């Protein structure tokens, strides 16, 4: 008999959907969106609708693998325990690196950090490849990083999608945006790349990649010149005169941004005719000047009077961990490795060198820049353990691979970074024989290492982590599905009190240097989210080389559909060229998440570089060029 079972999607996505699984005889036959969740809104994205081929793929790992050979769990865990304790005894715990990424956003994944903090404390990552720069920017400016309620967009007169592809990356914001537009809001997209989200907007500006800081300064200047700033801005902003002076320090901002002055003026006009919500995409912060760029957008929202009002806000992340209490996890790592510099720093670490790496919910070989260096760094360690459900590029570089559960088997607690609903995931089917959850794995490892802090069931951990003042109980989440929590006001900073030291917005006062590419590599490599994959997790087998999308005049005479090589200063890879006249002439667009094993990994081409602040990845500032296909 077919049964409907609900869970919450744990993927690294703003939407954290409530999933309805159709289960028959212990097998999931179909997935759909929960009609009762106001944000999930009865539908799932393509990649999760199509998750079942991955769930039931013959490539699913069901046995631990030691140097590529299946072994029993006892053998695997005895081996892991022996390696970890030997290396700790010989070199100290700093020689062990606990690397965890966002393969599952479940709150219980933090227990890996708890475990290694108690076993060590060991080396951990710093920064954040995804959002480090933007997070830091908002914390510096506002002292707090969160957003107005998602449905507050219905109060906006203008909405600016600033470097944000909602159709692909946050599809559940789209119905809300459509409702807002139906209700009379005007929406514009500012993105160097043409993508489907442009169709939702009445205006699409395509600035030069990395040109947004300059564009924001042009807009600020226009706001000041026209007298369109909030007359009370000086009451709630620090450094207003210095910020004004910065905006007036140049007259050629528009040239740098490659946007005409009338379009900069149009942005200023829409900010002035508020309430205007700026939805800041994660992409534009993944640049050398990414932190400064987000700070500039924060400043635009502030001086134009759009903070603390319904329909306004400069939203980057919804604070997804707000309802979780992780205070029991001591932050006392002896050393950190900056996530975007994973490969070079792992190779370079000394005193002690990193001898062992434990990898949870991440595929750094495919997803971190300079993939070949990441691969080499891992392969040259004494002991690398990867906990994953599939044989990824990173698992291939490991000594030991431990098979774990998928999102349909997950037993966890989830916040969201695109709205304020909290939910629980509950297994809709049990994991296959031979598969253990991250929690079980660490509990069994802990028994061998004398670290027993993870005692307890998943449910007990959920109880412990969920904050009492969140305005919802675990039982309620289990019975009724995801609920909006009580710790986020509908309008952030409603009294224009900010969480900075002075209680005021901290406006930026200086400009970053401009990003330029060399004439040898004139195209910005932009490897972006695709609807067909979650980072490196693809539901379909890919065939042939990756498709690179360029303007026909950027194709070096290579015809549409033809094979070619895409080359950067450090590597090259085969591609198939697709012409698209809607794109700028200085971008080369690839899907992110291709696998190194298959020669499809964009990160092979990118150098490991960090953003100006916050330890983000400067992922889209690598220059590349197209060359004719190699004949070999
Ligand atoms: N289908 C799918 N959904 C996903 C993911 C996925 O892999 N697949 N990944 C998830 C993850 S990990 C995250 S963090 C989120 C967000 O995932 P992201 O891919 O970060 O999503 P966006 O915010 O849409 O940001 C990308 C946009 O930023 C733009 N951009 C890049 N550089 C610049 C610039 O200099 N200026 C401007 N104005 N724009 C720029 C790009 O052109 C692109 O349209 O989505 C999640 N959702
Ligand atoms: N060139 C380029 N590079 C990028 C980006 C880009 O836009 N361009 N985007 C960046 C961004 S935004 C991000 S967030 C990162 C993402 O980088 P990663 O977080 O490394 O992304 P995934 O490929 O999703 O890898 C997560 C792994 O976790 C595994 N996993 C899933 N569930 C579980 C679980 O419950 N337990 C365990 N142990 N494993 C699990 C999955 O099978 C998968 O192999 O990549 C970054 N890299
Ligand atoms: Mo991300």
Write the pLDDT tens digit of every residue in 263-279: 999 999 999 999 999 99
Using a pLDDT cut of 90, give the percent of the chain over it: 98
Find tokens 């969140």 and name the residue.
Answer: 470
- Banded pLDDT at 630 (limits 50, 70, 90): confident
The answer regarding whether domain 65-129+321-484 maps to CATH 3.40.50.740 reads yes
pLDDT over 90 (residue 66): yes
The SS3 call for residue 564 is strand
Using one digit for the tens of pLDDT, what is the confidence trace for 197-223? Answer: 999 999 999 999 999 999 999 999 999
- Banded pLDDT at 632 (limits 50, 70, 90): low
Average pLDDT, the chain: 97
* Residue ranges covered by each domain of the chain: 65-129+321-484, 132-316, 523-628
Which residues does 229 contact at the CB level (< 8 Å), separation at least 6?
Answer: 223, 303, 304, 305
Helix residue spans in 10-109 (DSSP H): 46-49, 52-55, 73-91
Ligand 2 in reach of 129 Cβ (< 6 A): yes
**What's the pLDDT at 540?**
84
pLDDT over 90 (residue 458): yes
**Lookup: tokens for 251:** 């007259």
Cα(428) to centroid(ligand 2), Å: 23
39-62 average pLDDT score:
96
**What's the pLDDT at 1?**
84
* Spatial CA neighbour of 621 closest among 512, 542, 534: 512
Ligand 2 in reach of 506 Cβ (< 6 A): no
* Burial track 403-433 (b if 16+ CB lie within 10 A, e otherwise): bbbbbbbbbbbbbbbbbbbbbbbbbbbebbe
User: Could you say which DSSP state residue 6 is in?
Assistant: E
433-442 average pLDDT score:
98
**Lookup: tokens for 565:** 């090589």
Ligand 2 in reach of 104 Cβ (< 6 A): yes
**Lookup: tokens for 347:** 């190779």
Q: Are 282 and 535 in contact (CB under 8 A)?
A: no
Q: What is the distance between the alpha carbons of residues 160 and 188, in angstroms, rounded to a whole number?
A: 5
- Residue 491: HSE in the Cβ half-sphere, 13 Å Cα cutoff: 16
Mention the CATH class of domain 523-628: mainly beta
Same fold for the pair 65-129+321-484 and 523-628:
no
Cα(85) to centroid(ligand 3), Å: 33
> Which of 31-35, 88-92, 514-518 has the lowest average pLDDT?
514-518
pLDDT over 80 (residue 347): yes
**What's the pLDDT at 42?**
94
The answer regarding whether domain 132-316 maps to CATH 3.60.150.10 reads no
Which residues does 450 contact at the CB level (< 8 Å), separation at least 6?
Answer: none
Q: What is the distance between the alpha carbons of residues 590 and 547, in angstroms, rounded to a whole number?
A: 6
**What's the pLDDT at 296?**
98
Ligand 2 in reach of 425 Cβ (< 6 A): no
Cα(308) to centroid(ligand 2), Å: 34
The SS3 call for residue 446 is helix
Using one digit for the tens of pLDDT, what is the confidence trace for 589-607? Answer: 999 999 999 999 999 999 9
- Banded pLDDT at 541 (limits 50, 70, 90): confident
**What's the pLDDT at 69?**
98
């Amino acid at each position: 008999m077919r049964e409907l079972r609900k869970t919450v999607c744990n993927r690294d996505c703003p939407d954290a959907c409530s999933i309805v699984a159709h289960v028959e005889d212990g097998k999931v036959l179909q997935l759909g969106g929960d009609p009762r969740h106001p944000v999930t809104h009865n539908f799932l994205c393509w990649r999760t609708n199509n998750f079942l081929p991955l769930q039931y793929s013959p490539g699913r790992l069901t046995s631990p693998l030691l140097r590529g050979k299946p072994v029993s769990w006892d053998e695997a865990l005895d081996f892991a325990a022996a390696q970890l304790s030997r290396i700790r005894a010989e070199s100290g715990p700093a020689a062990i690196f606990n690397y965890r990424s966002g393969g599952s956003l479940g709150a219980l994944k933090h227990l890996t950090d708890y475990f290694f903090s108690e076993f060590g404390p060991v080396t951990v990552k710093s920064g954040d490849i995804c959002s480090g720069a933007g997070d830091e920017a908002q914390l510096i400016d506002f002292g707090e990083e969160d957003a107005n309620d998602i449905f507050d967009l219905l109060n906006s007169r203008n909405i600016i999608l600033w470097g944000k592809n909602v159709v692909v990356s946050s599809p559940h914001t789209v119905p809300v945006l459509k409702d807002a537009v139906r209700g009379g809001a005007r929406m514009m997209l500012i993105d160097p790349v043409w993508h489907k989200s442009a169709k939702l907007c009445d205006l699409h500006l395509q600035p030069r990649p990395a040109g947004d800081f300059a564009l924001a300064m042009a807009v600020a200047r226009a706001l000041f010149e026209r007298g369109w700033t909030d007359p009370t801005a000086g009451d709630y902003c620090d450094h207003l005169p210095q910020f004004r002076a910065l905006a007036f320090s140049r007259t050629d901002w528009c040239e740098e941004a490659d946007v005409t002055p009338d379009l900069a003026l149009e942005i200023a006009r829409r900010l002035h005719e508020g309430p205007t919500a700026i939805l800041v995409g994660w992409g534009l912060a993944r640049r050398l000047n990414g932190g400064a760029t987000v700070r500039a957008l924060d400043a635009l929202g502030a001086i134009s009077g759009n903070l603390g009002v319904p329909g306004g806000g400069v939203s980057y992340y919804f604070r997804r961990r707000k309802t979780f209490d992780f205070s029991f996890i001591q932050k006392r790592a002896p050393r950190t490795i900056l996530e975007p510099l994973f490969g070079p720093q792992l190779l370079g670490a000394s005193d002690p060198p990193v001898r062992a790496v434990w990898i949870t919910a991440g595929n750094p070989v495919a997803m971190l820049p300079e993939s070949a260096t990441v691969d080499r760094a891992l392969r040259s360690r004494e002991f690398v353990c990867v906990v994953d459900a599939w044989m990824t590029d990173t698992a291939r570089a490991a000594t030991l691979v431990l098979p774990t559960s998928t999102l349909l088997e997950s037993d966890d607690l989830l916040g969201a970074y695109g709205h304020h609903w909290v939910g629980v995931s509950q297994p809709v089917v049990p994991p296959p024989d031979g598969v253990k959850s991250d929690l079980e794995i660490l509990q069994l490892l802990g028994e061998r290492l004398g670290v027993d802090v993870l005692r307890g069931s998943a449910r007990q951990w959920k109880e412990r982590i969920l904050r009492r003042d969140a305005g919802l109980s675990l039982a309620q989440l289990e019975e009724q599905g995801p609920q909006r929590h009580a710790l986020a006001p509908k309008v952030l900073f409603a009294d224009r009190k900010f969480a900075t030291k002075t209680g005021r917005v901290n406006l930026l006062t200086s400009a970053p240097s401009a990003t330029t590419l060399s004439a040898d590599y004139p195209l910005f490599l932009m490897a972006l989210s695709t609807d067909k994959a979650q980072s490196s997790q693809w539901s379909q087998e890919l065939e042939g080389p990756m498709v690179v999308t360029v303007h026909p005049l950027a194709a070096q005479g290579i015809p549409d559909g033809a094979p070619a090589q895409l080359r950067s200063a450090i590597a090259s890879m085969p591609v198939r060229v697709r012409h698209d006249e809607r794109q700028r002439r200085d971008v080369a667009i690839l899907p992110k998440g291709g696998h190194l094993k298959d020669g499809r990994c964009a990160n092979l081409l990118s150098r490991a570089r960090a953003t100006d602040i916050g330890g983000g990845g400067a992922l889209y500032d690598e220059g590349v060029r197209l060359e004719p296909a190699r004949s070999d």
